[in-house]
């Protein structure tokens, strides 16, 4: 029998709501035909798809990253402001398409305003200049009688947008990136960008461009940029047609966080840096099927993928002391939880854990001890299309668990991913101290099999079910059986 030990006093850190963030890029049908579809009967007068906005609200997305992604390294933000009919159509090289620029800075800011979402902008450090980046900060945040602030006012936006989060380029380590740089050259360039952006608005927070934490790039960039940045980004995609390879691969996220955190703390110590530097996991997801521009990256997600996404979320919560932002890539159509057609949408399997975590996770992450069956991954099972090797990080617990509580200690939530594809696991949940449970609710994401998926014709093959259970009263020990291939979130209301 598996055992989960929970001590309400053993705090790991405060869960920052920004870990439930999103990301939209000018790629495929994410923007056009996704969040924005002019002339559609499903859109409002601004062109925003109303059904998509309703689905996004269900995710309680706190922060949204834009405009890229690889796209940003060839994007000039001034092409996307002013009268729409005068904006230039540009050849887009990252994804080999044409960018109409009908959705630009002011449209994105309005979308964030309508949804109550904080904007996070990534600047072009590929083909862009530091003056262009500095001007964008002034356009968004300027309050004085200056050119770019006045241009924003001329475009109909009197008040500044007060954009707080700014990324210093995207994946500049990759040769697929326009303006690809060595880590040394990136540091030199990023410092100059950071100077003029911070001098324009000292209140902004900057995100340095990281890799996965275990590369030479990460060491050089963290050491060089530590005085200037507030966050260090990590990008990680995993995925496999083999279920166990799929659901164990997020162990790489744990390794990436630990590796980056060690480099950050070493840099802060040796350079006597007083301000904290957090991790922004600003691109992450299961993604392995659709890679080509022709596919538009329209991944169709299974129950197994939803469980892998749940393990990622557990990982971010377990590292809540340092992971203060995470942005699922992406929000609509492109490797996304929401999938649209001109007539409507359906929610992919991965939508349901994202919604449940945003709804149910509380403020304080708890240090949980788990003792469940373990499984080692064989070489044959380690199918990783991205070329990653992670079997040596095992053996892996079949139950992946995290727990949170509210500030007052009146609500306790446990998120338990049973990665076993065949068997339910009977489990004892032991509390460090006796507690009186007045309400007991279980939320479960599951489906017929690990390969189950949703579609326009069958929209709820994988869904979240809610069950109100009998409250056990005053106890120290609970028993619960976690079904095969499931995510279960248990919510306990305490007297």
Active-site residue flag, 171: yes
Using DSSP bridges, classify how beta strands 63-66 and 21-23 pair: parallel, antiparallel or unpaired.
parallel
Query: Which is catalytic among the residues 99, 138, 283, 382?
Result: 283
Q: Two tokens at 295?
A: 């596919």
What's the CA gap between 231 and 216, in Å, rounded? Answer: 18
Strand spans (E) along 195-302: 205-208, 231-238, 278-286
Peptide bond into 330 cis (omega under 30): yes
Q: Two tokens at 10?
A: 């053993």
Collapsing DSSP states into helix, strand and coil, what is residue 193? helix
Contact assessment for residue 286 and residue 246, using Cβ atoms and an 8 Å cutoff: yes
Query: Comparing C-alpha atoms, which of 268, 265, 331 is closest to residue 20?
Result: 331
What's the CA gap between 430 and 427, in Å, rounded? Answer: 10
Query: Comparing C-alpha atoms, which of 127, 249, 149 is closest to residue 201?
Result: 149
What's the CA gap between 241 and 360, in Å, rounded? Answer: 30
Contact assessment for residue 333 and residue 340, using Cβ atoms and an 8 Å cutoff: yes
Instruction: Please tell me what DSSP assigns to residue 413.
Output: E
Alpha helices in 322-432 (DSSP H): 351-360
Which residues lie below 8 Å from residue 300, measured CB to CB, with a gap of 6+?
289, 348, 453, 455
Instruction: Please tell me what DSSP assigns to residue 332.
Output: B
- Residues, the chain, total? 495
Query: Which is catalytic among the residues 37, 107, 118, 171?
Result: 171
Query: Comparing C-alpha atoms, which of 292, 254, 280 is closest to residue 393?
Result: 254
Active-site residue flag, 110: no
Query: Comparing C-alpha atoms, which of 210, 225, 77, 207 is closest to residue 137?
Result: 77
What's the CA gap between 351 and 58, in Å, rounded? Answer: 9
Beta-bridge mates of residue 477: 430
Which residues lie below 8 Å from residue 375, measured CB to CB, with a gap of 6+?
244, 248, 394, 395, 396, 398, 419
What's the CA gap between 396 and 382, in Å, rounded? Answer: 13
What number of CA atoms fall less than 13 Å from residue 421's CA on the CB side?
A: 17
Which are the catalytic amino acids? 171, 283
């Amino acid at each position: 029998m598996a055992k989960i030990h929970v001590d309400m006093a053993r705090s790991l850190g405060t869960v920052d709501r920004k870990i439930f963030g999103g990301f939209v890029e000018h790629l495929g049908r994410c923007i056009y035909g996704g969040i924005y579809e002019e002339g559609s009967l499903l859109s409002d007068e601004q062109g925003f798809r109303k059904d998509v906005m309703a689905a996004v609200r269900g995710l309680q997305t706190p922060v949204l990253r834009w405009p890229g992604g690889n796209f940003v390294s060839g994007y000039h933000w001034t092409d996307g402001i002013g009268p729409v009919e005068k904006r230039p159509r540009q050849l887009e090289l990252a994804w080999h398409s044409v960018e109409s620029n009908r959705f630009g800075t002011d449209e994105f800011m309005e979308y964030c305003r309508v949804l109550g979402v904080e904007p996070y902008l990534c600047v072009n450090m590929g083909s862009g200049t530091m003056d262009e980046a500095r001007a964008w900060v002034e356009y968004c945040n300027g309050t004085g009688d200056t050119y770019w602030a006045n241009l924003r006012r001329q475009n109909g936006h009197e008040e500044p947008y007060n954009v707080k989060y700014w990324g210093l380029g995207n994946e500049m380590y990759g040769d697929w990136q326009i303006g690809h740089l060595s880590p040394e050259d990136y540091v030199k360039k990023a410092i100059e960008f950071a100077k003029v952006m911070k001098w324009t608005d000292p209140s902004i927070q900057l995100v340095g461009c990281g890799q996965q934490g275990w590369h030479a790039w990460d060491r050089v960039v963290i050491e060089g940029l530590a005085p200037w940045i507030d966050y260090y980004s990590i990008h990680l995609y995993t995925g496999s047609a083999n279920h166990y390879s799929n659901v164990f691969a997020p162990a790489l996220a744990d390794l990436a966080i630990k590796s980056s955190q060690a480099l950050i703390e070493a840099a802060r110590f040796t350079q006597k840096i007083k301000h904290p530097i957090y991790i922004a996991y600003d691109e992450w997801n299961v993604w392995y099927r659709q890679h080509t521009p022709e596919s538009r990256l329209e991944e169709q997600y299974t129950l197994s993928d939803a469980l892998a996404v749940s393990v990622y979320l557990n990982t971010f919560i377990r590292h809540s002391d340092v992971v203060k932002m995470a942005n699922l890539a992406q929000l609509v159509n492109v490797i996304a939880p929401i999938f649209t057609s001109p007539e409507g949408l359906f929610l992919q399997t991965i939508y349901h854990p994202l919604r449940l975590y945003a709804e149910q996770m509380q403020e304080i992450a708890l240090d949980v001890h788990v003792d469940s069956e373990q499984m080692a991954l064989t070489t044959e099972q380690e199918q990783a299309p991205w070329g990653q090797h992670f079997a040596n990080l095992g053996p892996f617990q079949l139950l992946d668990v995290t727990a949170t509580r509210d500030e007052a200690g009146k609500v306790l939530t446990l998120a338990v991913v049973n990665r076993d594809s065949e068997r339910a696991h009977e489990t004892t949940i032991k509390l460090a101290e006796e507690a009186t449970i007045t309400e007991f609710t279980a939320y479960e994401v599951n489906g017929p099999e690990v390969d189950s998926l949703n579609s326009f014709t069958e929209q709820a093959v994988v869904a979240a079910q809610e069950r109100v259970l009998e409250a056990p009263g005053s106890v120290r020990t609970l028993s619960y059986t976690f079904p095969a291939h499931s995510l279960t979130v248990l919510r306990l209301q305490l007297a």
